[in-house]
Structure 1
Amino acid sequence: MEQQDAVRREGKLIPVLALATLIAAFGSSFQYGYNVAAINSPAKLMKAFYNETYYDRIGEYISEFSLTLLWSVSVSMFPFGGFLGSLMVGPLVNKLGRKGTLLFNNIFSIVPAILMGCSEVAKSFEMIIVARLLVGICAGLSSNVVPMYLGELAPKNLRGALGVVPQLFITVGILAAQILGLRSLLANEEGWPILLGVTGIPAALQLLLLPFFPESPRYLLIQKKDEAAAKNALRELRGWDDVDAETQEIWEEDRAEKAAGFISVLKLLRMRSLRWQVISIVVLMGGQQLSGVNAIYYYADQIYLSAGVRAQDVQYVTAGTGAVNMLMTICAVFVVELLGRRVLLLLGFSICFTACCVLTAALALQDTISWMPYVSIACVISYVIGHALGPSPIPALLITEIFLQSSRPAAYMVGGSVHWLSNFTVGLIFPFIQVGLGAYSFIIFAMICVFTTIYTFLVVPETKSKTFIEINEIFTKMNEVSEVHPEKEELKDFPPSTAGQ
């Protein structure tokens, strides 16, 4: 009865846990989403600024090719910075902790916010390019560290819901950038530097507020060996004094992992006991970015125009699409613990596959059948709904769940690198695919969606309401290693069941 009561109590979202989640996600994940979208609305104004600045220096306007190249560099610096940020995750979270890394990461938001905000006054487009690189590093770190931090703070029966919150704030950031990027607000000659500089505000708030909230108890206990601090953090996060059962479970994990020691990325890739976990993260993170989500947004304006939406109104329809994305991610927060991670992945990728197939047909036929553009709009909205339910929020959550403490930082480095390299690749090659294949380019994305769906169905287990230990036991069997195997890499001498997570 006592154990049942403990499990029941773990389900409570007490104010400390809720506020820590909101501050971490708003201060970090929001910026990722905001900076993805903020540069889109003022693109023409910023290109004009590049041209005028070059003319003031040289006395002639920049060539069309050079201007396109400069703009491409400005855009691509963000995913490249994201890749660099992902490579920094392991060393920083092990040295500074999860909360400490988030606080340190605000440097990579506040400094570029100042640079972008002052770029027009300073007559320097180079400041924008450097700032995009720095804010990309910020996004690369936050996209990995926030899910890790929240996953280690949360009790097992809230871990899924809290793990989706970072993706929710990414969509809130995108929507905020789309709204502030309306031409009647900040996407104008006077307002675009402010639009870019707004990203520093959430960082400043996080820098002020997050220090008052606990560090990850698992980090404090396993890596810092500070049991008193870990117990204090658990008491704050759970709302009661008796945290011995959960502390014991964390100690058991620590004892089981001691033989592994520090796990680098190379060691992670070589470990047989982590084979299917690593493959799953690579497939899911690659599928998330290569399934066409960026291409859908790229095509959306053209689809809206072909359906009869006036050019000046497309910005409002785009913001409406962003609102749908946010609302469906809110839905995912509430259903992830009800339906499970696996079901949302299968459902989401299946919807995206269907939407890509129908969209291909609709785009091919839109000049011959009058109502086809409306089918295209329905496909865009359907795709956004499907991606927001599973492919967008679940993969980062799964990294926290399917790796234990010693391997988790390296796993996030691998997952983050795949995420950002895939993002960069799509941005680089999609324009060429579009020129070569036109509407049929979405067939490629449909194939990736169906492959990821099949892989998820055959390989990825359900992790809902399971402890990290129980999830690891599932993969131990999949990897065909004994619970105590020669390398002693992940799982050893766990008790049959544990009460706390």
Structure 2
Amino acid sequence: MANPEERKGKLTLLLAAATLISAFGSSFQYGYNVAVINSPAPDMQRFYQNVSESRNSTVSEGVLTLLWSLTVSMFPLGGFFGSLLIAPLVNNLGRKGTLLFNNIFSVVPALLMGVSEVLESFEVIILGRFIVGICAGLSSNVVPMYLGELAPRNLRGAVGIVPQLFITIGILTAQVFGIRNILGNAEGWPIMLSLTGVPALIELILLPFCPESPRYMLIQRGDENNARTALQRLRGWKDVEDEMTEMRLEEQSERAEGQLSVLKLFTFRSLRWQLVSIIIMNMGQQLSGVNAIYYYADSIFSSAGVKENDVQYVTVGTGTVNVLMTFAAVFIVEASGRRLLLLIGFGICCAACVILTVALSLQETLYWMPYVSIGCVIIYVIGHAIGPSPIPTVITSEIFRQSSRPAAFMVAGSVHWLSNFTVGLVFPFLEWLKCSQQTKHKGHQVLKKIVGLVPKERTS
């Protein structure tokens, strides 16, 4: 028998392949669809207006803002409904089977959004965003669950962050494609929206060659032979009896409980603090506003005083920083621990938000404040990338056992996507109100000058 210490930390070719295929085919799409409508937003809004006018109806600025908010927020709303499907699908189809089935919710909306301009229908885009949101809601939780059950214990943290890394790569890819000279223009945005189907097709071809989760096959299906075979392929050696014994003990201890539903999960006193922890982490992750940066990056940087021609490049730069810091988190998570990275990450985000608020308030007074605003956004992204973004799914996978894990991911996913939906829907109205107040303030100043309440500026 080989020394267990020699096996520690072994990343086999099959485990690496399963990690990359599932993360690219599923997690990448989540990130891509978060940022895909940021750069082409003005051209898409013109399309909305033109379609409405062709139907002999006018669209006010408020209605257009509402339609665009729905376009953005239908994605996280679909994510919420996708998260409700996690437990029934992973318990019946398995982890790998659910990921394969989930590609339906990517290919169909890719086709719908790709032909929206030909059909002259913005409703098709809104529907497509909702359906691809279902895909993201499932993949954002099933991929970490799948990889957490494939990886050896000492690699679960690093492997568990890979899906978040591919989410950031998806965001960056959408930001690069969104450069106006590439696809972020009036002709290219339908192609840009439809490209989300490409990773799904690749996953449909390659993922069947990867194994199903051994824990799922043994504990939930009772298929010991296939579980052992899959584990041997994943570990790269024949002697896997230690892990098989561990899984059998877990199966025996959970046989009396059975699969926990969400309602049962909330009634278990022994799981109360674990449940509270994942709810708070997912609320903090999303309500901190990280996805508002990617949904409306160009608008945010324009408000911060960035020149119009430079906005798209600042956006890409922010996405690049996000990828690099998440990549760094893959290597430091095991050494630093989950709790420390969360505390440091949220601390950096909090400090950056406070300074950003002050900088935005003073940007018309001090000419260099826009640079401070840009720096604060980048620092915020760095803080979020090393802790709040990747760690919650890793912890959810680790602190719940096989019987409660699907229900726990269902709860975590629901909180995640409802919070995401709130940010996506509310943010443009906050910005619209801010612009309205600024316009009103300037109007009052002009009126005061006209009626003589404020001395007019001297002219030479």
TM-score normalized by the length of structure 2: 0.91
2:108 maps to 111
Cα offset, 1:7, TM superposition? 3.8
1:23 maps to 21
The match for 1:322 among 310, 319, 323 is 319
Counterpart Cα distance in 2 of 1:365 and 1:8: 58
Counterpart Cα distance in 1 of 2:429 and 2:109: 31
Asked whether the equivalents of residues 112 and 132 of structure 1 are also in contact (C-alpha less than 8 Å), the reply is yes
Cα offset, 1:60, TM superposition? 4.2
Counterpart Cα distance in 2 of 1:364 and 1:14: 53
The match for 1:171 among 164, 168, 171 is 168
1:204 maps to 201
Q: Indicate the SS of the match to 1:157.
A: helix
1:235-284 CA-to-partner distances (Å, cap 9, x unmatched) read 11000001111000011111111121121101001100101100000010
1:296-328 CA-to-partner distances (Å, cap 9, x unmatched) read 557854664477642112101100100000000
Asked whether the equivalents of residues 34 and 291 of structure 2 are also in contact (C-alpha less than 8 Å), the reply is no
The match for 1:145 among 142, 145, 151 is 142
Counterpart Cα distance in 2 of 1:296 and 1:226: 46
Counterpart Cα distance in 2 of 1:330 and 1:433: 33
1:309 and 1:428, CA in 2 relative to 1: closer, same or farther beyond 3 A? closer
Structure 2 unmatched runs, 5+: 436-460
1:104-152 CA-to-partner distances (Å, cap 9, x unmatched) read 0000000100111111112222221111111000000000100000000
Asked whether the equivalents of residues 269 and 275 of structure 1 are also in contact (C-alpha less than 8 Å), the reply is yes
1:367 maps to 364
Asked whether the equivalents of residues 153 and 216 of structure 1 are also in contact (C-alpha less than 8 Å), the reply is yes
Asked whether the equivalents of residues 52 and 61 of structure 1 are also in contact (C-alpha less than 8 Å), the reply is no
Q: Residues 443-454 of structure 1: matches in 2 within 5 Å?
A: none
Q: Indicate the SS of the match to 1:158.
A: helix
Counterpart Cα distance in 1 of 2:392 and 2:223: 31
Indicate whether 1:34 and 2:41 are aligned.
Answer: no
1:96 and 1:80, CA in 2 relative to 1: closer, same or farther beyond 3 A? same
2:177 maps to 180
Q: Residues 86-97 of structure 1: matches in 2 within 5 Å?
A: 86-97=83-94
1:163-222 CA-to-partner distances (Å, cap 9, x unmatched) read 000000000000000000111011122211100000000000000000000000000000
1:198 and 1:387, CA in 2 relative to 1: closer, same or farther beyond 3 A? same
Counterpart Cα distance in 2 of 1:386 and 1:112: 33
**Quick one: percent identity of the two aligned structures?**
66
Counterpart Cα distance in 1 of 2:225 and 2:88: 24
Q: What residue identity is the alignment partner of 1:34?
A: Y
Structure 1 unmatched runs, 5+: 439-501
Indicate whether 1:392 and 2:389 are aligned.
Answer: yes
1:367 and 1:70, CA in 2 relative to 1: closer, same or farther beyond 3 A? closer
2:439 maps to none
> Which entry has the higher C-alpha Rg, 1 or 2?
2
Cα offset, 1:75, TM superposition? 1.5
Counterpart Cα distance in 1 of 2:305 and 2:57: 39
1:226 maps to 223
- Give the number of equivalent residue pairs: 435
Counterpart Cα distance in 2 of 1:151 and 1:9: 18
The match for 1:9 among 7, 10, 29 is 7
The match for 2:283 among 277, 283, 286 is 286
Counterpart Cα distance in 2 of 1:276 and 1:116: 42
1:248 and 1:423, CA in 2 relative to 1: closer, same or farther beyond 3 A? same
Q: Indicate the SS of the match to 1:75.
A: helix
2:117 maps to 120
Cα offset, 1:72, TM superposition? 2.0
Cα offset, 1:369, TM superposition? 3.1
1:152 and 1:88, CA in 2 relative to 1: closer, same or farther beyond 3 A? same
1:119 and 1:262, CA in 2 relative to 1: closer, same or farther beyond 3 A? same
TM-score normalized by the length of structure 1: 0.83
Asked whether the equivalents of residues 144 and 396 of structure 1 are also in contact (C-alpha less than 8 Å), the reply is yes
Counterpart Cα distance in 2 of 1:63 and 1:114: 29
Indicate whether 1:341 and 2:335 are aligned.
Answer: no
Indicate whether 1:266 and 2:263 are aligned.
Answer: yes
Q: Indicate the SS of the match to 1:70.
A: helix
Asked whether the equivalents of residues 119 and 127 of structure 1 are also in contact (C-alpha less than 8 Å), the reply is yes
Aligned-residue RMSD, C-alpha: 1.9
Q: Indicate the SS of the match to 2:401.
A: coil
Asked whether the equivalents of residues 31 and 139 of structure 1 are also in contact (C-alpha less than 8 Å), the reply is yes
Counterpart Cα distance in 1 of 2:307 and 2:278: 42
1:14 and 1:366, CA in 2 relative to 1: closer, same or farther beyond 3 A? same
1:54 maps to 52
